[in-house]
Amino acid sequence: MSGSGPTLFARAPEDASLADPLPAAPLDLLQRWLDEARERGAQRNPTAMTVATRDRDGALSARVVLCRGYDAEQGFLVFYTNRQSRKGEHLAHHAHAAAVLHWDALGRQVRIEGPIRRSPDAESDAYFASRPRAAQIAAWASDQSQPIASRAALLERLHAAERRFGAEGAPVPRPPHWGGYRLHIERIELWVGADGRAHDRALWTRALAPAGEGFAGGSWSVTRLQP
């Protein structure tokens, strides 16, 4: 029923990112959202994203990582990890993932799904070289996701790696089992919160075809979703 009288849902969201008409393609808008999340500094880790993977039996697992890169032209996000970790083992068997970025302070959320490819070695080398030395050494010391007897045992592994490489000195090379992954976007949902659950919610999908080390994307299809 519609009319001219008072309504609880007359007020539009303060954020007009998803006002009609919706953008035909979402990748530039995602870039803007990532930039604004960093610039506004409303959250300690504005690039934190939950990544969900699937093991060979289909069981799901999710964890928070940091988004360390975004290519708006090719349409992929980048994160780094120990490739012998649980998530690395999952991606070796099922190279597909889902990710969520949620900026509660900004009233925005992004959901992404798509295939995974390893980042080129040169890209992983460059990012590893930019990390703090302690993080570089820890990447060698920790068998990520594997059991360990105690915190003391963990610290001894870290101290042994520190003695190997030194607290300062020569560069620490990237471990062969550590590197980046590219999550290529084939499905992306953007959400803007509003009072009374009258949220703006839009979905873009496209077909991806293997091309070189990644994928070539087809044209986007966009639709508004009910909240």
Q: So which residues are the catalytic ones?
A: 197
DSSP code of residue 106: G
Alpha helices for 77-220 (secondary structure H): 86-93, 121-130, 133-141, 151-165
The label of the residue with tokens 């550590």 reads 178
3-state secondary structure of 6: coil
CA angle 9, 14, 18 (to 5 degrees): 90
193: amino acid identity, one letter: G
Nearest to 82 by CA among 214, 156, 183, 180: 180
Which tokens is 43 given? Answer: 């959250």
Nearest to 12 by CA among 20, 4, 1: 20
Strand runs labelled E in the chain: 48-54, 60-66, 69-71, 76-82, 96-103, 108-118, 178-184, 187-192, 200-205, 208-211, 214-217, 221-224
Residues making up the chain, counted from first to last: 227
Which of 63, 67, 87 is CA-nearest to residue 77?
67
